[in-house]
Amino acid sequence: MFSVKFDLKKFNKDMRNLITYSEGFVEGVMLGRRAFLDNFGRVIIEGMKQFIDSMAKVDPQILQHVYEWNRVGSPEARLYSLTYSVTPMGIVIGSSFRQSASIKPGSKKPFYDKARIMEAGIPITVAPRESRVLVFEENGETVFTTKPVQINDPGGPAAKGGFQKTLNIFFSQYFTQAFLLSSGIMNRLQNLSAYKRNLNVGIRIGRSKGKETGYRWIVEAGVIK
């Protein structure tokens, strides 16, 4: 005949610590939420810039207006800015246009409000200033005129709304179908190895270890690696 001794006191203590370790983990995640969103915001902005540059190279007519002349898709020639802010609701993305500093071949001054005007499709009037004759090309032919010329669609039909359409594609398609996976964010959020790795220590210590583990896990999940 044999008997088995079972330390019920230690078992109850370990179970309590396991529960408080898990509760601490969740508490740590909530405490690290803002830091995670802040890191994730930076990842999103960088991903958006790369996506826009790639789309611009594939179809320059849609996005040529948000870059300096003849430099479509170049990161150094962007005429747009992207920002993010962290709110209680999550991440808010903002965009704005920069002034152009380059000069189009055949012109003498920059088209300063190029990006905003072409994106909105705002008609512009061009008139001679330094001479009495306005010279421009239309359909491959050189045109001379002394009268002001109104251009109803300065960026062309493809450019109007092209930047906003590209942003919509990023969030409605690319973000969920490719970006979350390619950035590594999704894999890190699904990987709970940190919780498991610290489980034995958590059973001994309890809440404080869970809180530390949860905070570090969520914050690191949003960092570019």
Nearest to 91 by CA among 47, 52, 53, 50: 47
Burial category of 122 from C-beta neighbours within 10 Å (exposed 0-12, middle 13-18, buried 19 and up): middle
Radius of gyration of the chain (CA): 29
Q: Where is mean pLDDT largest: 5-14, 75-84, 122-131, 183-192?
A: 75-84
Residues 210-220, mean pLDDT to the nearest whole number = 94
The residue ranking higher by pLDDT, 146 or 13, is: 13
The residue ranking higher by pLDDT, 14 or 38, is: 38
Say what percent of the chain tops pLDDT 70: 84
Run of H or E residues at 81? strand 80-87
Structure tokens that stand for 66 in this block:
């948000």
Which residues neighbour 56 within 8 Å (Cβ) at sequence distance 6 or greater? 62, 63, 64, 66, 67, 72, 73
Which residues neighbour 104 within 8 Å (Cβ) at sequence distance 6 or greater? 69, 111
The sign of the torsion formed by the CA atoms of 58, 59, 65, 71 equals positive
pLDDT of 125 strictly over 80:
no
- Given this model, what pLDDT does residue 60 score? 94
